[in-house]
């Protein structure tokens, strides 16, 4: 599936522009600069498939890619810009909430967390949204190559503890690096399993 030809489907600034629900959908979300574009590119083996984070906060669309008629990958807009105006943040939350609530074919949301920093307050907010919408999610710890092994292990443990306190039933945690490729086969396999379900 990941070797397939990827097609850009659409960029939806609000829920009115969402493409029709078709097949299984998997979405990636994370704080800006967490490494989401790099991960999309690493997973699909294509550069520049995901938006590049040139101007933080400017791209607020949900971007849809299709690999097969029955599989859609969704690059959700980044969050957590310290300087983002409140109305922008509110609009983001409204769009995301509406998307999460209405998308019955959304099989899993992968929440990207910076492996150097762990779960921060802004990440807790998206996890709250996901818990409230009862959407199934998993955690992807990014940039594992950027910290010492012991430090990364500490972030992983801390993440497990924070996640355990949430209502979602045992979300999986994937340690990854788009730079070295660590964890990418496991992540691809997890996505492939969703398609097979
Ligand atoms: P986005 O804003 O979440 O889409 O983040 P990007 O994918 O644009 O990544 C932000 C920065 O982190 C860029 O400079 C990337 O090159 C870098 N980066 C992303 N993933 C990794 C990784 O796994 N390892 C390392 N060393 N750098 C990474």
**Is the C-beta atom of 33 inside 6 A of ligand 1?**
yes
The interface pTM score, or ipTM, of the predicted complex is 0.98
If you measure from the C-alpha of residue 146 to the centroid of ligand 1, how many angstroms do you get, rounded to a whole number?
10
Give the residue extent of every domain in the chain.
7-196
Phi, psi of 13 (to 5 degrees): -75, -30
7-196 folds as Rossmann fold (3.40.50)
pLDDT in tens, 73-94: 999 988 876 667 888 888 888 8
pLDDT in tens, 6-28: 888 988 988 999 999 989 999 99
Q: Which atom of ligand 1 lies closest to the CA of 34?
A: 3
As a residue count, the chain comes to 197
Percentage, residues of the chain above pLDDT 70: 90
If you measure from the C-alpha of residue 142 to the centroid of ligand 1, how many angstroms do you get, rounded to a whole number?
8
If you measure from the C-alpha of residue 46 to the centroid of ligand 1, how many angstroms do you get, rounded to a whole number?
15
Instruction: Measure the CA–CA gap between 127 and 84, rounded to whole angstroms.
Output: 20
């Amino acid at each position: 599936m990941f070797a397939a030809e990827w097609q850009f489907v659409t960029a939806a600034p609000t829920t009115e522009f969402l493409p029709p629900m078709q097949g299984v959908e998997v979405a990636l979300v994370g704080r800006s600069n967490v490494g989401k574009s790099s991960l999309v590119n690493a997973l699909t083996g294509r550069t520049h498939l995901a938006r590049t984070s040139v101007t933080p906060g400017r791209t607020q669309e949900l971007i849809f890619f299709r690999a097969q008629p029955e599989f859609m990958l969704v690059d959700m807009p980044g969050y957590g810009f310290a300087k983002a105006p409140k109305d922008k943040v509110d609009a983001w939350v409204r769009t995301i909430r509406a998307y999460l609530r209405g998308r019955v074919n959304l099989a899993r949301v992968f929440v990207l967390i910076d492996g150097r920093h762990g779960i921060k307050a802004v990440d807790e907010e998206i996890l709250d949204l996901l818990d409230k919408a009862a959407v199934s999610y998993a955690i992807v710890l990014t940039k594992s190559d950027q910290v010492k092994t012991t430090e990364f292990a500490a972030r992983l443990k801390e993440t497990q503890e924070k996640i355990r306190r949430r209502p979602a039933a045992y979300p999986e945690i994937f340690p990854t690096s788009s730079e070295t490729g660590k964890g990418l086969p496991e992540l691809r396999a997890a996505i492939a399993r969703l398609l097979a379900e």
